A and B are shown apart, each in its own frame.
Chain A
Amino acid sequence: MASPSSAPARPPAFRSIGRSILLTLPIALWSLLMFTPSFRSGGRALSIGAVLVIVFMTSLFFLMMRTGETYRWRRIFFVALGFLFPVGFIASLIAERGTMSIPISRMVSGDTPFCFMVTPALILPAAFARTIVFPGSILPTASNPHSIAVMIGLWFAFTLVLGKAWCSYACFFGGMDEGFAAFGKRRRLHRFVTKYGSILRLIPWAILLCVVLLSAALFEPFYCMWLCPFKTVTEFPAVRDLETALQFGVFVTLFVGLVVVLPYLTKKRTQCGFFCPFGAFQSLFNKINLFDIRFDREKCFDCGLCQTSCPTVALSKESVREGKTLLNCMKCGACVDACKKDAAVWHLKGTPVAVKPERARLLFLYGAWALATMFGGSILANSIATMVHWLPLK
């Protein structure tokens, strides 16, 4: 996997082993707490999955503490989440209904699992017509525990504290394009992205507006019906006629283009940075959450490494000169790790910039990793359990 910078930004041992273990303890305890129910009632496969996830998440956090690097270790978790999520999800669909396509009967009965991507499209129809334009159930049911209220509640609580960090620590789709971006080292379309970055980063806002307006006009979740690349690896409306065949064609084209080919060519998260309308919506919450990344202008010498390393083009020369990131920063930590002068720092809003930035990083990471363990960790545990079922381990 390609590192955001060619040379290590910090010495390999940023913190002593003892101190790193001490700082990792809360996350270890949180992980145990989260997965205790899996040991009690989950069966052998889920217990194995839970143990592996506890070890995995705790080890990664320990390495973050020990090395002082965030991006590299977070990416391992995030890519694992992105690639393992479809494994568990598709397996559960096949086991339950025998196909990845959504039968009309499931839509009518409101049994479609809710995906947070639809959230912005729900606002206008809910406000004007008191209607949720998604074929899911508002409260959890026995057949559909992934209800609208649960998902929106989780998302909202996390977003209020950490803002767009959702896109780097919780989204179960983002790891896919981040994974494909990590293959190989050569940036083939680097100049294109540098030249048109200022336009490319506006596209998600345009798609967000279109999706919100058309969902209200057509009274359907427009993004799910026509634009979601991840339908290819999750579930999609059953192909019955030319229209649904066309929809499926669009999903596959967008997936191959935005999640596989372009990330590989650009080394950027193209789906997340240049397409995802939910990401644009999430950017709004960067204004009101507690943490951001800032630049210490006294240390910065405008080398541009932070801009090159940013996977979503959330930095411009102007923004760095102002000591800030752009609104679409996902707080992945790539720029902080890439900066050789420690000019890019984690920052708790309302405190002076570059004063005890490690404290701000710790506070942020406790929140983000706790959510990653709870949300992404449970998805990972389920996927591992699915694979354990498949393996002939008797």
Chain B
Amino acid sequence: MAALPLAASAGEALVLGLTTGPVCLASCGPVVLPWMLVQPKGIGPHSRQLLLFLAARLAGYMVFAAAAWLVGAAIPRAWSGRSWAYGGIELLLAIALLVYAAGWPRPRRALSEPSPRLVRIGEAPRPRPSGAVALGFLTGINLCPPFLVAGVRAAQLAHLSGALFFFLCFFAGTAIWFLPFLSLGFLQRTPAVVTVARMVAVLLACWYGFSGASLLIERIING
């Protein structure tokens, strides 16, 4: 790519990310907030978890950018399997939220053996990097409106590297909007806060599960 189109493309993606960031925030907020609230207090653990989440989200973006470029603009715009993807991703999000809300999976142990990792109800579970990664990746490939706009634009670019670069810049623009989540690190972690966060995760899992299932059922009925 020539230097000027590359810079223009980067600028366009960054501005698109910055301006549509609040929508990304609103779209990912229901997943990020309960996850961050079950982390131990402090800016350090929160930064780590947010970085992991954003890195996994970036990976999701890259996968989508590559797919969008390979298949063309049809993916984001009028792809007939879009509701399958929406429904499937929402169901996976529901499962991931339920799994991490319950603190599962845990290593199998003999019944008589006391677990050093036993988490009592109300206590903060140990930080699980895999949770941030799974939730980040699933929100990364979730087809929110700004993401679809970026997908259309990336699909029109001449090279795969261009599409990936476009999404990288788009990601940078949206990621800034996630920084306020770090302030949750200052919130006191009482057992009540952790319990509420887990309840939120379960309730949101119910919603995503319902939403995903209804999309899939509708798709099956309508063909």
Contacts and interface: CB of A to CB of B under 8 A. Distances in A.
Is A bound to B? yes
Interface of A: 124-125, 128-129, 199, 202-203, 205-207, 209-210, 213-214, 216-217, 219, 243
B195 A129 contact: no
Contacts of A210: 30, 200, 203-204, 207
B30 A214 contact: yes
B125 interface: no
B120 to A, nearest CB: 13
Given A202-B192, A202-B199, A214 B33 contact: no
Interface string B21-39: 0110111011001100000
Contacts of A216: 26, 29
A127 B182 CA distance: 19
Contacts of B23: 129
Contacts of B30: 210, 213-214, 217
B214 interface: yes
Contacts of A214: 30, 204, 207
Interface string B179-214: 000000000000010011001100110010000001
Nearest to A203: B199
B193 to A, nearest CB: 9
Interface centre among B33, B192, B196 (most CB of A within 10 A): B196
Given A129-B22, A210-B207, A217 B199 contact: no
A199 B198 CA distance: 12
Contacts of A213: 26, 29-30, 33, 200, 204
Interface string B4-33: 000000000000000000110111011001
User: Which DSSP category, helix, strand, loop or mixed, fits chain B's interface?
Assistant: helix
A213 B204 CA distance: 9
A205 B34 CA distance: 12
Interface of B: 22-23, 25-27, 29-30, 33-34, 192, 195-196, 199-200, 203-204, 207, 214
Contacts of B34: 209
Given A214-B204, A214-B207, A209 B196 contact: yes
A144 to B, nearest CB: 27
A214 B29 CA distance: 9
Contact of B199 (A124, A128, A206, A219): A206
A217 to B, nearest CB: 5
Contacts of A206: 196, 199-200, 203
A243 B213 CA distance: 13
A376 B207 CA distance: 35
Given A124-B26, A209-B34, 12 more contacts: A128-B25, A128-B26, A199-B195, A203-B199, A206-B203, A210-B203, A213-B26, A213-B33, A214-B30, A216-B26, A216-B29, A217-B29
A239 to B, nearest CB: 16
Nearest to B145: A219
21 contacts: A124-B26, A125-B26, A128-B26, A199-B195, A202-B192, A202-B195, A202-B196, A203-B199, A205-B192, A206-B199, A206-B200, A206-B203, A209-B196, A210-B30, A213-B26, A213-B33, A213-B200, A216-B26, A216-B29, A217-B26, A217-B29
Contact of A217 (B27, B200, B203, B214): B27
Contacts of B27: 217
A235 to B, nearest CB: 23
A-B residue pairs, 4 tightest by C-beta: A206-B199, A128-B22, A216-B26, A213-B30
A163 to B, nearest CB: 19
Nearest to B202: A206
A219 B26 CA distance: 9
Given A124-B26, A216-B26, A217-B29, A209 B200 contact: yes
Contacts of B29: 213, 216-217
B123 to A, nearest CB: 14
A290 B195 CA distance: 30
A80 to B, nearest CB: 34
A130 B19 CA distance: 14
Contact of A243 (B26, B195, B196, B214): B214
B48 to A, nearest CB: 23
Contacts of B214: 243
Nearest to A198: B192
A266 B30 CA distance: 32
Nearest to B144: A217
A214 B200 CA distance: 11
Nearest to B203: A210
Nearest to A209: B200
A124 B177 CA distance: 13
A209 B26 contact: no
Contacts of B199: 202-203, 205-206
Contacts of A219: 26
Nearest to B29: A213
A207 B203 CA distance: 8
